[in-house]
Structure formats: C-alpha cells, structure tokens
Amino acid sequence: MRSHGRQRDRAAHGTARRTRVSAGTRGAALASGAALVVALATALAAPVGAASGTAAARSPQPVRSSPAPQSPQTPPSAGAGERVRSITIFDRVELSFEGPDAPKTKDATAPRGELLIRDRGQTADRTLRLPPEPDAREAMSVTGLVIVEPIVDPKLAPRPGDPWTRVGSVAVVMPMGGGRPPLQVELMRFVTGFGAASRYEADLTPFLPVLWGERTFRAHLDTWKAPGWRVTFELRYEPGAAGIRRPTMVVPLFDEPRVTRGASVVQGSFTLLPGLDRPRLRILTTGHGSELGDEFRPRTHVVRVDGVEVARWRPWREDGAGSRSSSPWAERRTVDGREVWASDADRSGWVPGRIVEPFILPLDELRPGSHRVEVEVIDIRATPEDQPPDHWRLSACVVADEAWPKPVR
C-alpha cells in the first residue's frame, strides 16, 4: 500500500518561489600567505599548450589518461537479487557550444531525437517515464551515476576540443503551476577535469519523490567549445537499501547560475505539510572567477530561515592533488623544486574531476506551515571590467521524510 502518494506529489511540486535581492558591499583583507597561494593558483589555471607569458611555464607531454570509464555492471545487493534496476537517462549525449545541430540563440531550442537541445548546445532535456511510485516498505534507494568524456578535435588530435574544467549538472525540471516558470531540482553537480573522462556517483535517495513516473531531466555542461563533451547519466534503483530514509517531499527553492556582488542574496519559500519528519535543506554552491577571483578565495555563506540565521560556513575543497588522473592537459610548473599542476589548487567548493558535495542542514525545529529560506554570499569580488564576472552557482531544495509510526505499546 502506498502512503501519502498525493501528499508527496503536492509537496514535490511545492510552493517554492525565488527572489534575488541586492546586498551592500563589504570589504575584506587577505593575509599575505593566502594571497601568494591564490596568485600561484590563478597563474596555473590554463591547459597545457596555452600561452603562459612566462619562462617558468612548462608544457610536458600530457599524462595519458585511462580509457573512458564504462558504466559498471550493477552488483546485486543482499536480498535484492535481480530487482536492482538501472535506467539510462542520457546516453553519451554530446554537449558542444554551437555544434552542428545546436540552436544559434540562447532562448531557442532544437530537437535531436528524443532530446531537446537548449542554450546553444550546452543543455539537453529529455522526458521519459520512470518506474511507478514505490511502496514505502520497499525501502527503495536511488544512486546516480554520471560519466563525462571529452571529444577529441580531429584538427588538434590528440588534444580534446575542450581541455578546460567545466561545471556540469543533472537535474529534474519541476513545473510550479500558477503561471510560474519551472524550477530545477539539481540532483548532481560536477566539474570536469582538464581534458579527460571522469566518473561521478551520488546517493539520490532523498530525491525519490521526483524520481518516479513521467519526468523531464536536464543535463547541462558549461562548455564554450565545439566539439565539447559527451555526458551519460544513469539511475540505479535498489530495494531494501534506503536504511532509515522514508523520502516523501522535495521542493526546489532556487537555482541561480550567477550570484554576483550586486545580487548576492537568493531567497525561496516552501510549505512544510503536517506528518512530515526530518526536513533538511540541501545546498549546492561553487565559486567561479578569474585572476584573483572567487574561484580561489573563500566566501562566507549565511543561511537564514524566516529571518533567523541558522548556519554560516565557507565552502572549500583542498583535495585537488588527487585528481591529476582526470587532468592530463592541466598546466604544470616547477615551484621551489617541485612540480605543481593547475588541478592541485584549493578552490571554492570544487576541484577538477570531482563531484560537488552538498551542504546538508537539518531543520528539525520547523513546524508545519510556510517558511522562507535566504542564502547570502558575503563579499563577492567586484570584478574588473576587462574580466568575466566573479560569481557563485547556487541551488537549494528542501527534502523531508514521512514520519515513522509510533510503536504500539
């Protein structure tokens, strides 16, 4: 017997709305040591073969990456046997900027078989029917797998057409009703390496309420080259593997690709229905910029719920040295007797070739009713006019579970 089926659908389609608010500027000073690290990192942020303008730059032969990762055979889980089911949403879909069949303007679309291509070739949509809504007692878990592969440009072989790091995502497009534009539930965000294939995996069980029935999926890669990359996205459904989770609600709050200094506050609202448990806010945020910009400088994020500050943190990643295998075309330099790669640098919430981890904030104190969530990014750099604008990509949604029944005494 399915429980709260209609409630789930109402909650999933939600009552979210988003607003961008201007915020005042704030000053901040960097310690000299941090400034040195930033300067080094930005100097390295170029692919092998790019003009560096300095005798210190080295362009050795690129490390040969291993063949493109293949979709793994799904291992049977204990007790699940053949009930584990994999569904391919996107199968090596090419995303290239202004490719041969891409629409030539930002707002235009072009069909490609079952796909609808958007954003001049950077985005692909596909609508398909997933398995029906599972019974809560099935304890269904969902795992997402993304594989990205660079496309080699015959004119530049063996160099790929796009050897740069690129931000990508897979999402569910949610109709909001009432004449409002649809919102995305961003399932996974990732960043490519410098010109090699990468594989990303994530537990998507909290998103189960929007991963059954007919859905529209969106794959996006922020490439500005043609040829660009091929993207594969699979979902794996495994009964009996959800543990304590009883996912019931998913409401998108906002999905802003460019949060800048002049509009550094993003807001969204939702309604928490009675009978739900464990509401959590899931935030994906990454900083981007050039020179001494927000890609390499930490920025404080502040979360407010109904006007009350509930969290403050600085997204940061320092595990870039482990991603060299996915960055064979990264610039390399010898600094103080050791080789340093562009992919090694610490960054604002991401590193090349790795998935972006969500910031998960439990909101157990919330009561049923309407609530407003606000996220502010403090002190985004005022970008010089001759450089691309510094910005943060920021998305958020609220998820909640069905409450467990009280034990009978």
- Is 171 domain-assigned? yes
- Is 192 domain-assigned? yes
- Domain region containing 157: 5-47+80-402
Residue 214 carries which side chain, given as an amino acid letter? E
Q: How far is 290 from 384, CA to CA, in rounded Å?
A: 10
Of the CA atoms within 13 Å of residue 295, those in its CB half-sphere come to 25
What pLDDT sits at residue 38? 52
- Is 75 domain-assigned? no
Give whole-number Cα distances, 73 to 45, 89, 197, 344, 401, in Å.
36, 16, 18, 31, 30
Q: Global pTM? A: 0.84
- Is 367 domain-assigned? yes
**CATH code, domain with 377:** 2.60.120.230
- Is 65 domain-assigned? no
CB 247, CB 399: distance < 8 Å: yes
DSSP 359-375: EEEE-TT--SEEEEEEE
- Is 181 domain-assigned? yes
- Is 70 domain-assigned? no
Q: How many domains does the chain have?
A: 1
- Is 66 domain-assigned? no
DSSP 288-341: E-STTSTTSS---EEEEETTEEEEEE---B--GGGGGGG-TTB-EEEETTEEEE
pLDDT in tens, the chain (409 residues): 444 443 344 444 444 545 554 444 333 434 444 454 455 555 555 555 443 333 333 333 333 334 445 544 444 444 444 588 999 999 999 999 999 899 989 899 999 999 999 999 999 999 999 999 998 889 999 999 999 999 999 999 899 999 999 999 999 999 888 888 899 999 999 999 999 999 999 999 999 999 999 999 999 999 999 999 999 999 999 999 999 999 999 999 999 999 999 899 999 999 999 999 999 999 999 999 977 789 999 999 999 999 999 999 999 999 999 999 999 999 999 999 999 999 999 999 999 999 999 999 999 999 999 999 999 999 999 988 888 889 999 999 999 999 988 876 6
Residue 182 carries which side chain, given as an amino acid letter? P
